[in-house]
Amino acid sequence: MNKKLYVARSPRIAARKLGEEMLVMSAQGSTLFTLNPTATILWQAADGVTALDEIVERRICPEFAVQPEEAKRDAQSLAEELAKHGILLVSEEPIANPSPAFQEQR
């Protein structure tokens, strides 16, 4: 990963934790997704100001015992995939929170 990437939760999604799984529904096409544990951590940590690398190092690596470089590559593809579905916003600049109220996640 050459450039720093920032990720933020899209303000147009609905989300709730059901048991151990995070459910996310994108208003774009009313599509429902279930996030696996890695994607859930990434999504919950996506505050727009913490760089993706940092999220991986601090939140994902300790949880899953993976090598940082491999985890960063996987996290970037995951972030891009989630962005395609309108679940995450991805940018090379910090993202001003689209809706401050979305800080609180369940």
Partner 1 sequence: MSLMEEIGERAHRLAVPFSAQLDLTYRCNEDCVHCYLDHQDHGEMTTAEIKQLLKEMADAGVFFLTLSGGEIFLRKDFFEILECARALTFCIKLKTNAVLIREAQAARLRDLGVESIQISIYSHRPEVHDAITKISGSLQRSIKAIRFLRSQGLKVIMANVLMTENMHDYRDTHRLAEELGAEYTLDPTVTPMMNGDRGVLNLNVGETDLHRVFRDESLVGDAAEFCAPPRPLGEDNMDSTPCSAGHTACYISPYGEFYPCVQFPLSCGNVRQQSFIDIWRNSEQLNEVRSIRLRDLSSCSQCAHGGSCTRCPGLAFLEGNMRGPSTADCERSFARTGIPSANLLSQKEKTSSARLVQIQLVPAITGNRLSEVGNAASAVAS
Q: At what angle do helices 37-45 and 68-84 cross, to 10 degrees?
A: 80
Site for partner 1 in 1-30 (CB under 8 A): 11-19, 21, 23, 25, 27, 30
Residue (13 or 42) nearer to partner 1, CB: 13
By CB under 8 A, tell whether 96 contacts partner 1.
no
11-44: buried (b, 16+ CB within 10 Å) or exposed (e) per residue? eebebeeeeeebebbbeeeeeebebeebbbbbbb
Q: Which CB sits closer to partner 1, 12 or 76?
A: 12
* 102: contact with partner 1 by CB under 8 A: yes
DSSP-H helix ranges across 46-89:
52-55, 61-64, 68-84
- Which residues form the interface with partner 1 (CB under 8 A)? 11-19, 21, 23, 25, 27, 30, 32, 34, 99, 101-102, 104-106
